Amino acid sequence: LQRCVRLLLVPIHLLACLGLWGSFYRKVFPYVMAKVAPIYNRKVYKQKQELFSNLRKFAGPSGQLTLLEIGTGTGTNFQFYPPGCRLTCTDPNPNFRKFLLKSLSENPHVKLEHLVVASGEKLHQIPDGAVDVVVCTLVLCSVANVKQVLAEVLRVLRLGGAFYFLEHVAADHSSWTYFWQKVCDPAWKYFGDGCSLSRETEKELEKTNFSELHLRRIRVTPYWIPASPHIIGYAVK
Protein backbone atom coordinates (compact mmCIF):
# COMPACT_ATOMS: atom_id res chain seq x y z
CA LEU A 1 0.00 0.00 0.00
CA GLN A 2 2.84 2.38 0.79
CA ARG A 3 4.38 1.63 -2.61
CA CYS A 4 1.05 2.47 -4.24
CA VAL A 5 0.99 5.79 -2.42
CA ARG A 6 4.57 6.49 -3.52
CA LEU A 7 3.59 5.69 -7.12
CA LEU A 8 0.73 8.18 -6.98
CA LEU A 9 3.14 10.79 -5.64
CA VAL A 10 5.62 10.47 -8.54
CA PRO A 11 4.56 13.80 -10.16
CA ILE A 12 5.05 15.65 -6.86
CA HIS A 13 8.34 13.84 -6.26
CA LEU A 14 9.59 15.00 -9.67
CA LEU A 15 8.58 18.59 -8.83
CA ALA A 16 10.41 18.25 -5.51
CA CYS A 17 13.56 16.99 -7.26
CA LEU A 18 13.40 20.05 -9.54
CA GLY A 19 13.09 22.32 -6.51
CA LEU A 20 9.61 23.50 -7.53
CA TRP A 21 7.38 21.79 -4.96
CA GLY A 22 9.14 23.16 -1.88
CA SER A 23 9.13 26.79 -2.99
CA PHE A 24 5.47 26.54 -4.05
CA TYR A 25 4.23 24.77 -0.92
CA ARG A 26 6.13 27.05 1.49
CA LYS A 27 3.90 29.85 0.21
CA VAL A 28 0.70 27.79 0.37
CA PHE A 29 1.29 26.05 3.72
CA PRO A 30 0.70 29.14 5.95
CA TYR A 31 -2.74 29.59 4.38
CA VAL A 32 -3.50 25.92 5.01
CA MET A 33 -2.40 26.23 8.64
CA ALA A 34 -4.41 29.44 9.11
CA LYS A 35 -7.51 27.32 8.43
CA VAL A 36 -6.46 24.09 10.16
CA ALA A 37 -4.74 25.44 13.30
CA PRO A 38 -7.86 27.05 14.89
CA ILE A 39 -9.78 23.79 14.41
CA TYR A 40 -6.98 21.80 16.03
CA ASN A 41 -6.69 24.36 18.84
CA ARG A 42 -10.35 23.89 19.74
CA LYS A 43 -9.80 20.12 19.99
CA VAL A 44 -6.86 20.48 22.40
CA TYR A 45 -7.92 23.68 24.16
CA LYS A 46 -8.31 22.08 27.61
CA GLN A 47 -5.05 20.15 27.28
CA LYS A 48 -3.12 23.28 26.28
CA GLN A 49 -4.75 25.31 29.04
CA GLU A 50 -3.66 22.72 31.59
CA LEU A 51 -0.18 22.36 30.07
CA PHE A 52 0.60 26.08 30.12
CA SER A 53 -1.07 26.78 33.48
CA ASN A 54 2.26 26.67 35.37
CA LEU A 55 4.38 28.77 32.98
CA ARG A 56 4.79 31.51 35.61
CA LYS A 57 6.55 28.98 37.84
CA PHE A 58 9.60 29.27 35.57
CA ALA A 59 9.82 33.07 35.45
CA GLY A 60 13.27 34.51 36.16
CA PRO A 61 14.35 36.43 39.28
CA SER A 62 12.72 39.63 37.95
CA GLY A 63 9.36 37.88 37.87
CA GLN A 64 9.06 38.39 34.10
CA LEU A 65 8.84 35.34 31.87
CA THR A 66 11.18 35.17 28.87
CA LEU A 67 9.76 32.68 26.38
CA LEU A 68 11.05 31.29 23.09
CA GLU A 69 8.63 29.53 20.77
CA ILE A 70 10.12 27.30 18.07
CA GLY A 71 8.06 26.97 14.90
CA THR A 72 5.53 29.60 15.95
CA GLY A 73 3.58 29.35 12.70
CA THR A 74 0.34 31.34 12.93
CA GLY A 75 0.72 32.02 16.67
CA THR A 76 -2.08 29.81 17.98
CA ASN A 77 -0.38 29.43 21.39
CA PHE A 78 -0.30 33.16 22.23
CA GLN A 79 -3.66 33.05 24.00
CA PHE A 80 -2.23 30.64 26.59
CA TYR A 81 0.79 32.75 27.57
CA PRO A 82 0.71 34.87 30.75
CA PRO A 83 0.37 38.69 30.56
CA GLY A 84 3.65 40.56 30.22
CA CYS A 85 5.41 37.57 28.71
CA ARG A 86 8.55 38.58 26.72
CA LEU A 87 8.33 36.55 23.54
CA THR A 88 10.82 35.49 20.88
CA CYS A 89 9.30 33.69 17.89
CA THR A 90 11.20 31.55 15.40
CA ASP A 91 10.03 29.86 12.21
CA PRO A 92 11.96 28.81 9.10
CA ASN A 93 9.09 29.91 6.84
CA PRO A 94 8.90 33.74 6.47
CA ASN A 95 5.49 33.42 4.81
CA PHE A 96 3.90 32.91 8.25
CA ARG A 97 4.72 36.50 9.22
CA LYS A 98 1.41 38.18 8.40
CA PHE A 99 -0.60 35.48 10.19
CA LEU A 100 1.67 35.71 13.23
CA LEU A 101 1.31 39.49 13.39
CA LYS A 102 -2.47 39.10 13.20
CA SER A 103 -2.38 36.75 16.20
CA LEU A 104 -0.23 39.23 18.10
CA SER A 105 -2.76 42.00 17.48
CA GLU A 106 -5.45 39.71 18.92
CA ASN A 107 -3.30 38.94 22.00
CA PRO A 108 -1.94 42.28 23.24
CA HIS A 109 -1.09 40.74 26.64
CA VAL A 110 2.12 39.25 25.14
CA LYS A 111 5.08 41.36 24.03
CA LEU A 112 7.02 40.31 20.94
CA GLU A 113 10.70 41.15 21.35
CA HIS A 114 12.24 39.23 18.46
CA LEU A 115 10.99 37.53 15.31
CA VAL A 116 13.66 35.22 13.90
CA VAL A 117 13.54 33.31 10.61
CA ALA A 118 15.42 30.16 11.55
CA SER A 119 14.98 26.41 11.85
CA GLY A 120 14.90 24.75 15.25
CA GLU A 121 18.29 23.18 14.56
CA LYS A 122 19.99 26.56 14.04
CA LEU A 123 19.03 29.03 16.75
CA HIS A 124 22.39 30.83 16.61
CA GLN A 125 20.76 34.22 17.17
CA ILE A 126 19.58 33.13 20.63
CA PRO A 127 22.36 33.34 23.30
CA ASP A 128 23.15 30.47 25.69
CA GLY A 129 20.91 30.34 28.76
CA ALA A 130 18.88 33.34 27.59
CA VAL A 131 15.29 32.08 28.08
CA ASP A 132 13.17 30.75 30.93
CA VAL A 133 10.85 28.64 28.77
CA VAL A 134 10.93 27.09 25.30
CA VAL A 135 7.64 26.04 23.68
CA CYS A 136 7.35 23.65 20.74
CA THR A 137 3.97 22.34 19.54
CA LEU A 138 3.49 20.21 16.41
CA VAL A 139 7.02 21.03 15.26
CA LEU A 140 9.28 18.09 16.18
CA CYS A 141 7.29 15.93 13.73
CA SER A 142 8.63 17.94 10.80
CA VAL A 143 12.15 19.08 11.73
CA ALA A 144 15.11 17.53 9.94
CA ASN A 145 16.91 16.48 13.16
CA VAL A 146 15.01 16.12 16.46
CA LYS A 147 18.20 15.45 18.44
CA GLN A 148 19.79 18.67 17.21
CA VAL A 149 16.67 20.73 18.00
CA LEU A 150 16.59 19.38 21.56
CA ALA A 151 20.31 20.15 21.92
CA GLU A 152 19.53 23.76 20.94
CA VAL A 153 16.65 23.83 23.44
CA LEU A 154 19.03 22.82 26.23
CA ARG A 155 21.57 25.40 25.12
CA VAL A 156 19.21 28.41 25.11
CA LEU A 157 17.40 27.46 28.34
CA ARG A 158 18.73 28.82 31.62
CA LEU A 159 19.42 26.27 34.34
CA GLY A 160 16.05 25.39 35.88
CA GLY A 161 14.16 26.54 32.78
CA ALA A 162 11.55 24.36 31.09
CA PHE A 163 10.72 22.96 27.65
CA TYR A 164 6.99 22.59 26.88
CA PHE A 165 5.84 20.27 24.09
CA LEU A 166 2.73 18.88 22.43
CA GLU A 167 3.46 16.57 19.50
CA HIS A 168 1.72 13.89 17.48
CA VAL A 169 3.81 10.71 17.48
CA ALA A 170 4.05 7.12 16.31
CA ALA A 171 1.35 4.80 17.60
CA ASP A 172 2.04 1.43 19.20
CA HIS A 173 3.81 -0.65 16.54
CA SER A 174 1.33 -3.51 16.86
CA SER A 175 -1.70 -1.27 16.20
CA TRP A 176 -3.68 -0.55 13.04
CA THR A 177 -3.02 3.13 13.62
CA TYR A 178 0.70 2.56 13.17
CA PHE A 179 0.00 0.52 10.03
CA TRP A 180 -1.89 3.44 8.50
CA GLN A 181 0.74 5.90 9.70
CA LYS A 182 3.37 4.04 7.67
CA VAL A 183 1.06 3.82 4.64
CA CYS A 184 0.23 7.54 4.72
CA ASP A 185 3.69 8.85 5.67
CA PRO A 186 4.97 9.53 2.12
CA ALA A 187 1.97 11.72 1.22
CA TRP A 188 1.79 13.31 4.67
CA LYS A 189 5.38 14.56 4.37
CA TYR A 190 4.65 16.35 1.10
CA PHE A 191 1.37 17.95 2.19
CA GLY A 192 2.44 18.54 5.80
CA ASP A 193 5.62 20.42 4.93
CA GLY A 194 7.94 17.58 5.94
CA CYS A 195 5.75 16.23 8.76
CA SER A 196 6.18 12.56 9.71
CA LEU A 197 3.35 10.53 11.24
CA SER A 198 5.58 7.82 12.70
CA ARG A 199 8.27 9.77 14.53
CA GLU A 200 9.44 8.37 17.90
CA THR A 201 9.71 11.77 19.61
CA GLU A 202 9.18 10.36 23.10
CA LYS A 203 12.37 8.30 22.84
CA GLU A 204 14.38 11.36 21.80
CA LEU A 205 13.08 13.32 24.78
CA GLU A 206 14.00 10.51 27.13
CA LYS A 207 17.56 10.43 25.74
CA THR A 208 18.03 14.19 26.13
CA ASN A 209 19.81 15.39 29.26
CA PHE A 210 16.86 16.98 31.08
CA SER A 211 16.81 16.81 34.89
CA GLU A 212 13.04 16.14 34.89
CA LEU A 213 10.62 14.86 32.24
CA HIS A 214 6.85 15.10 32.78
CA LEU A 215 5.20 13.35 29.83
CA ARG A 216 1.91 11.64 29.14
CA ARG A 217 0.24 10.17 26.08
CA ILE A 218 -3.12 11.39 24.81
CA ARG A 219 -5.27 10.86 21.72
CA VAL A 220 -6.84 13.73 19.82
CA THR A 221 -10.20 13.32 18.09
CA PRO A 222 -11.12 11.93 15.66
CA TYR A 223 -9.38 8.83 16.97
CA TRP A 224 -9.31 7.07 13.61
CA ILE A 225 -6.92 9.54 11.94
CA PRO A 226 -3.22 8.58 11.81
CA ALA A 227 -2.20 11.78 13.65
CA SER A 228 -4.36 11.02 16.71
CA PRO A 229 -1.61 9.70 19.09
CA HIS A 230 0.11 12.59 20.92
CA ILE A 231 2.53 13.24 23.74
CA ILE A 232 2.18 16.29 25.97
CA GLY A 233 4.20 17.66 28.87
CA TYR A 234 7.28 19.59 29.89
CA ALA A 235 10.91 18.92 30.74
CA VAL A 236 13.19 20.85 33.10
CA LYS A 237 16.85 21.61 32.39
What is the domain partition of the chain in residue ranges?
Answer: 1-236
Residue 63: the pLDDT is 84
Say which amino acid occupies 179.
Answer: F
Question: pTM of the full predicted structure?
Answer: 0.94
pLDDT along the chain (237 residues), means of 10: 90 90 92 95 96 94 92 96 94 95 94 94 95 97 96 97 98 96 94 94 96 97 95 98
Q: Which CATH number fits domain 1-236: 3.40.50.150, 3.30.470.10, 2.70.180.20, 3.40.470.10?
A: 3.40.50.150
164 bridge partner residues: 135, 234
Residue 62: the pLDDT is 81
Residue 61: the pLDDT is 82
User: From the CB of residue 84, how many other CB atoms can be counted at a distance below 10 Å?
Assistant: 13
DSSP assignment of 192-215, as one string?
TTS--SS--HHHHHHHS--SEEEE
Residue 42: the pLDDT is 95
